[in-house]
Chain A
Amino acid sequence: MVLKAKRLCKLALGPVLMLLSLASAGALAASSKVNEVNMPPGVTEVGQRIYDLHMLILWICVVIGVLVFGVMFYSIYHHRKSRGVTPATFHESTKVEIAWTVVPFLILIGMAVPATSTLLEIYNTDDAELDVLITGYQWKWKYEYINEDGENVEFFSNLRTPQTEIYNAEAKGEHYLLEVDEPMVIPVDTKVRLLLTANDVIHSWWVPELAVKKDAIPGFINEAWTQASEEGIYRGQCAELCGKDHGFMPVVVNAVSQEEFDSWLADKQAKAAEIRELMAQTFTMDELMERGKAVYERNCLACHGANGEGGVGTAIAGSAIATGPVSGHLNVGINGVPGTAMQAFGGQINDVEMAAVITYQRNAFGNNMGDMVQPIDVYNHKNG
């Protein structure tokens, strides 16, 4: 009997401990990021409201849980046959049934009120001061700053963590898998409207600390908004399964002061002008190979392999396309191969990058074609 009682105690202890640890989640939240156990309140007003709502409902659940499990474990302990009790025979009570239908219903109304007002706030995308169009691609994000006077600024944001870290050949860095080559930049204390869409499959843009998660769906433009109150770098990930590298398309947002943002935007616009200038240049083989290698590693390597040996994509080493006519090779690079995972990169990388990567593919991995592609060739190919 003693043994049995001990077992019952164990049975009782487990869930209570678990509930307590979930309840203490709030207290631990501030201590450190590693082994975080709770939702971050983040740096937005909406995030704080969501966090408060989350904690409110968690505590209501904890209280109900303690009551229900309390009654249950009291009963398990006291109403055991081994204690020589005779079972009662009572059953059916309309009054009790009505009580435990109505009381939870009232509690639910209490939850619905703050939930509704928070939801309405999340949906209020009016009066935004800045619009950013975010497009999900397999497996990267594109950010386009919509600029009413002057040119739009657009760029892709790729995972920066090297394959060597992912495959454990090197020690993993502090922001393993949550680092990108070019983060999105937003000004603090500014209402930023996010317009979300996708180029291929459904993705979902999620940054916990900005309290935004919204699906990016091909053919749709979804709206969300955020307003960071503190400068800092906020990290998130794609939340909707989008294929092979779903786990490798992080979101990084750098919230900076308005001045810093303005100079960043001006810098971006200047760089765009510079690229336009580069388009008119002629490059040497070495320059093209060097640029091409970088473009390859960023855009092609995941599917075609580090040595062009193939993988999800076909092999490039010795392939008919990479060792065939330049125009055919350009066509695949620019327009992709419909019905396969090979995307149309014509709109994703600029003409300089395209020229470089095509040249690289034709002269690396043992493909010694010896020919070069210049940005003007890419431009001409695109424009017939």
Chain B
Amino acid sequence: MGDHHHGPAKGLSRWLFTTNHKDIGTMYLWFSFAMFILGGAFAMIIRAELFQPGMQLVEPAFFNQMTTLHGLVMVFGAIMPSFVGLANWMIPMMIGAPDMALPRMNNWSFWILPPAFLILASTLFMEGGAPAFGWTFYAPLSTTYAPPSVTFFIFSIHVLGMSSIMGAINIIATVMNMRAPGMTYMKMPLFVWTWLITAFLLVAVMPVLAGAVTMMLMDIHFGTSFFSAAGGGDPVLFQHVFWFFGHPEVYIIILPAFGVVSQIIPTFARKPLFGYDSMVYATASIAFLSFIVWAHHMYTVGMPVAGELFFMYATMLIAVPTGVKVFNWVTTMWRGAMTFETPMLFCMGFLVLFTIGGFTGLMLSIAPADFQYHDSYFVVAHFHYVMVAGAVFSMSAAVYYWLPKWCGKMYSETMGKTHFWISFIGFNITFFPQHFVGLAGMPRRIPDYALQFADFNMMSSIGAFIYGASQILFLYNVIATIVSGKPTDKEKVWEGAEGLEWTVATPAPYHTFERPPAVR
């Protein structure tokens, strides 16, 4: 134990062999940002092609590759790893643990990610092109009719599924075993709670996704007919399996975001979270409901009416715990003493836009109306309101909130706020008009469109370029803070912040809580 208090190793080996939760968290965060830029670049190509009616820049086949890779990279490469990175950094510090429970597996679960995405990105240069069947890869378009690169896509999904499962097991083991004495479950910060529940969702559904892609692999290479009607299989089975993974997946993305917002709003309202217990129960209810609503993505596949009704009622129910959350956040703000630093602004943006996304979600849950909304741009608008304004905004809030703790330097408030306002305006110019074109009849995933949709699409594209540019500003802000931010050594960076992470030194030392803290 002589070298117990060592610092980080030097050079590249620090990053390759590290078992330190902070190093691994940092790598996850940078990796996910790189993927965010890559996925964003794909989105820019999509929006540039859709700037005007007619085919201008790319061919329809390549356009489909872009929509597919944009979705896959954003969901699996940007949003999910970013929250895993945040979990790595914050969970041990929030529960008073010295590190994650399984540090070597932690290293492994990060380091298999970059090769997986390298494989996925390499499909762009393969004969027949990259996967072009959408991020939901419905069979048989993704099996019998897929380009040869689909096999690489399947392998890549398997690898990043393994990464997610290992990450989730690690979080469960850490939260269950490594809480400081006195840190009972009902004293854990909400970010820890939401991640614990998320981790259970991950362990439950990632193997289902692995099953789906394995069946695809068998259909493509080993002569089975799971999804091929000609061989006695069932193409709709694919959708059931996929969405049994896919619906919990969207809560995997949004629950940690709820956690972040539940940490930040009380800090800047200088008032405790209104209903801690009910927030925990609401999170658990949402997680439970996520398992019994998958077929609301499939209202138009021709289910029996009884099934249709069951999934409609169950889906509508989600509005109840989600409403509880929103009401709790607003009540937390009520009669607080608020200030609006960048993290709080992003949370306010989250609250408004996520709620709008929730409203459209409720509209989509109504099966008869969904017959008109389904597979239209209305759906595209809906999920970008929850994925971007929900997950990405809260992630931006988290970075600004904890960055001073991570690197001991303050970001520029002016730059942070500029980033927020450009993002907020750009985001709404991009996605709000998509509600209109969707309702008016524009299907999603088309490379070209009828003339009556032209103006709103141009608006949408302009907004997308603004939003895209604002993320470069984000990158600049983070680098500028790390390089030349104003140093701070206040343990409690924010006046109203509560929690163990604000009791350690700033910047957070390489090892924290080697002795468990006392939790009252």
Contact = CB atoms under 8 A, between A and B. Distances in A.
A201 B140 contact: yes
Nearest to B417: A7
A255 B21 CA distance: 66
B356 A18 contact: yes
Interface string A73-94: 0011001111001111111110
A92 B276 contact: yes
A320 to B, nearest CB: 20
Interface string B339-358: 11000010010011101100
Mostly, the A contact residues are mixed
Contact of B362 (A38, A61, A82): A61
Contact of B141 (A22, A202, A211): A202
B141 A241 contact: yes
A213 B374 contact: yes
B219 to A, nearest CB: 12
A76 B229 contact: no
B375 interface: yes
Given A15-B356, A100-B324, A177-B449, A82 B339 contact: yes
Contacts of A8: 340
Given A112-B312, A206-B443, A97 B145 contact: no
B368 A118 contact: yes
Given A79-B336, A244-B64, A218 B447 contact: no
B144 A339 contact: yes
A322 B312 CA distance: 54
A35 B433 CA distance: 10
A227 B446 CA distance: 28
A28 to B, nearest CB: 10
B277 A312 contact: no
Given A35-B455, A68-B355, A96-B331, A167 B439 contact: no
B330 A68 contact: yes
B54 interface: yes
B445 interface: yes
A200 B140 contact: yes
Q: Describe B's contact surface by its main secondary structure.
A: helix
Contacts of B435: 22, 37
Contacts of A61: 359, 362-363
Interface string A165-196: 11110001011111000000000000000000
B42 to A, nearest CB: 16
A217 B368 contact: no
A14 to B, nearest CB: 7
B218 interface: no
A208 B275 contact: no
Interface in A4-25: 4, 7-8, 11, 14-15, 18-19, 22, 25
A290 interface: no
Contacts, number: 308
B324 A101 contact: yes
A291 B486 CA distance: 77
B452 interface: yes
Contacts of B176: none
B54 A79 contact: no
A365 interface: no
Given A54-B372, A61-B362, A115-B367, A87 B141 contact: no
Contacts of A54: 363, 366, 369, 372
Interface stretch (B7-15, B76-84, B315-323): B315-323
Interface stretch (B55-63, B149-157, B199-207, B469-477): B55-63
A349 interface: no
A14 B423 CA distance: 13
Given A18-B428, A76-B338, A178-B450, A91 B320 contact: no
Contacts of B455: 34-35
A241 B338 contact: no
A354 to B, nearest CB: 23
B511 interface: no
B485 interface: no
Contacts of A239: 300, 374-376, 443-444
Contact of A87 (B277, B336, B340): B336
B141 A79 contact: no
Contacts of B436: 25, 35-38
Contacts of A82: 339
A53 interface: yes
Interface string B389-424: 000000000000000000000000000000001001
A72 B338 CA distance: 12
Contacts of A100: 323-324, 327
Interface string A26-44: 0000000111111110000
B273 interface: yes
B368 A49 contact: yes
Given A75-B333, A123-B305, A204-B375, A97 B140 contact: no
A79 B333 contact: yes
Contact of A176 (B308, B336, B450): B450
10 contacts: A14-B352, A37-B436, A53-B368, A57-B369, A69-B355, A165-B54, A178-B450, A222-B302, A240-B138, A243-B141
Given A112-B313, A138-B145, A204-B374, 5 more contacts: A65-B359, A101-B324, A104-B323, A122-B371, A220-B302
Closest 8 CB pairs of A and B: A219-B229, A247-B446, A36-B440, A222-B302, A61-B359, A37-B436, A239-B375, A88-B335
